[in-house]
Structure formats: structure tokens, C-alpha cells
Structure 1
């Protein structure tokens, strides 16, 4: 038994996790707006955005399910007065290639100039808290929406996000983003 343990220790001591780990760095710049009561877009000045990394859950019947990892907050930044943000970070994953998304944290009660009902509705039903705000409404945007396919992953993204949007077809409530994958 002692020999098996020594062999096990020898194998572990020679294992270098850097040989099978995947590292990715990502940089995102963007801007966020909301529609006001006059149906005009206003930059959101209050709030933060988190760069998040997706951690897939292992199969339930797997031994690894005992060590489930939650999505990681890579970095956080505040919006500027014009609703702009820049955020970057990197992550190392031992098995899969890191996949990123954005999580927007907006203060509750809803910002008074934002007329979108989905925002105020999330405030009414969300007990979520952040380091900055006592309660927040959270919205997410998947930058890499193709199940971490390598051809959909970039190191730089440029996004514009809206809470409520006005198009030639009318005005619409809810959260949406454009941009994301850039060559």
C-alpha cells in the first residue's frame, strides 16, 4: 500500500497543469443606453459591468460533480458619464477553453430616466445585491454564443447595449446588445 501511495505522489509531483490548461485574455469596450419617457436613448451612468467566465457543470453522475465550479467574476468596472465601459481580464481553465460573457448590474429602484418596464420589473422582483448597490437588476449578454466554438472566440469585442430600443418598426422593451464578435 505504501508503494502505491509513493507512486501516486511521484505521478502528481511530475504533473504540470500548464501543459493541459487553456488560457484566454479578452478585452471588451462598449456603451449602454436606456430609452427615456420621450423614446430617446440616454446613456446609463450608474451601474457596473462584470466580465464573467462560464464554468460548465460536470455531469451529475460524475465524480467531478462534487467539485462544481461557479461562473467566475474576472473583473468589474463602472460606466462612465456617457455610459461607456472598458473591461478586460484573463482566465485559465484546466480542461475547456474559457468562454466569457457580460453581466450588467443596474441600481434599484430603477434609474428615474429609464422608462423600460423590464428594468423596473426586475428591480421589483430581484433580491440581487452588489458591492456598489443595495439591490440590482441584472442583465447578461453572451459574447460568445456558439457553445465555446473556437472560431467564435476573439480577444477583442466592441458592443452597444440597450434597455428599450427604438427601431423603424416601433419601440421595444427589454435588454439587447449588438456587436460582440469582431474580426
Structure 2
């Protein structure tokens, strides 16, 4: 990224956000815990715009929350004369970039940022969805038949129902990682293994 910023024709100045005085943005991480996020770069362009830039090679599950906090920070830092924008730069998008300006980079990266924020909203909807579904038994017969489910102890039955409900939610999405489906079963599997 530093090589790109060095040669980008619209960059007036940039700095790596590092060291003990770096900007750290607080955000609410999963599990409702307070966490801090340190963006990678500050950039000022010749048209007077400022950018907070995050380069990402590998995603972690907190990325959407960090993006939301960075967007909010940029909105708060912006004035009538100085506009701040958060640029989330996925590695794949950066590798496809053929232009030589931060404006082009920002334009190419906006859809990825919007998708991150949309994913966060869907995640919040997902939490609400599972809260509502907990009140009624999910339709899971396509995964496990009801007779087998009824034979299970209540703890195991609850785990299977939660896993099946999670699976039904995820199967409607493209490119999903199904590991959360199995999370619900881990406690029951550990308990069963200890009994062997």
C-alpha cells in the first residue's frame, strides 16, 4: 500500500497509523465487549479530502464492526471544509486496481465497505431471528426426524435444534462458512465423549 500511495498522483500526504500515539477507535465487539481498532493509514489528497484506510489480507469476524466504527469516526471528524472517508481495501480489490489515484481506489472499494456494513446489519437481524425462533420449535425434520429428536435428553435436543435452525438460516446465503452450525453441538459432544 505504501508504494501505491507514494505514486498515486492525487496524494498530497499520507502516514502509517502506528506507534504509541496512533489513532485507536473504540467499538463494541461481539459479546458486547469494548475493543479498540487501529486503522492502517491516513491519507490527504490534492482535492482536500482525507481518508482513513484499512488494508485487509485476511478477514476476521470483527471486521464489519470495525468498519462501522471507522465510518462513524469519519462522519464525526468531517466538517464542511474537510471530508473524511473510510476506505476498506480487500486484498483482491487492491490486486485488481489498475489506476493510480486514491479516488479510484476509494471508488473500487466502496462496494466492499457497503457489503461489510450490510453483513453487520444481517448479523443483528440474525440475532433477532434466533431470539424469536427460540419460542417455537423449528422445522428440522429434513435434517433429523422427530422420533429421533424426541429420544434425546433435553440438553442434546436443544443443541440439535439450535444447530438445525442455524443451518436453515445459513443455507439461504451464498458463500457462507458453516462452522457456526457446529458450535451449538460442541458442548453436547464433549459431554457425550466424557461419558464414554
TM-score, normalising length: structure 2: 0.23
Greater helix share, structure number: 2
Greater relative CO, 1 or 2 (CA 8 Å, sep 6+): 1
Q: Which has the larger radius of gyration?
A: 2
Greater strand share, structure number: 1
TM-score, normalising length: structure 1: 0.24
